[in-house]
Each structure stands twice: as C-alpha cells, then as structure tokens.
Amino acid sequence: MREKGWVLSAYTMPPDAEAVRSLRVVVRPHINRNVASNLGRDILDACRYLEEHGGNATPPALHGHTHLKGSPAKC
C-alpha cells in the first residue's frame, strides 16, 4: 500500500486474541468517491499480491510517481 501512496496501520491483538487482525484506515472528511474507490481497489490488489507472494516478498517497484518528491496527493 505504501508504494501507492497510502499509509495504513496494522495492529496485533493481546494474548487470547492473536488470531484477530486489525487494519486502521483514517479517512478525512473531504475524501471523494474516486479516492475511496482507489483505496478499495488498492487494498484488494495488495491482498491478492500477499496471497500469491506471501508477506515476506520484495514489494513491487513504485508505480508511476517515482519522479515526484514525497507522496502523491490523494485528494
């Protein structure tokens, strides 16, 4: 997700709940439908990538905005 400009926080749970995984997504009030759709698509793409390659695979190269300094604007 980070290589596409998103920052998502993943958390593990305390003892007796280790099987539960939590992913926190903070959405600003001014997000538009296109950005929300892009986020959903990117999450699904990341899940497919992890299913195929596992969690220790080398991440893919940055996509299309490597020439920009900093993160691309999402809104």
Is residue 70 a part of any domain in this protein?
no
Is residue 65 a part of any domain in this protein?
no
Is residue 40 a part of any domain in this protein?
yes
Model confidence, pTM: 0.58
Domain around 18? 2-53
- Give the model's pLDDT for residue 37: 93
Is residue 29 a part of any domain in this protein?
yes
Is residue 28 a part of any domain in this protein?
yes
Is residue 63 a part of any domain in this protein?
no
| Residue 12 φ then ψ, to 5° | -100, 160
Is residue 38 a part of any domain in this protein?
yes
Is residue 33 a part of any domain in this protein?
yes
Q: What's the structural domain count of the chain? A: 1
Cα-based angle 46, 52, 55 (whole degrees, multiple of 5): 65
* SS3 (DSSP) at 20: coil
pLDDT tens per residue, range 21-69: 777 777 788 889 999 999 999 989 988 988 888 777 666 666 555 454 5
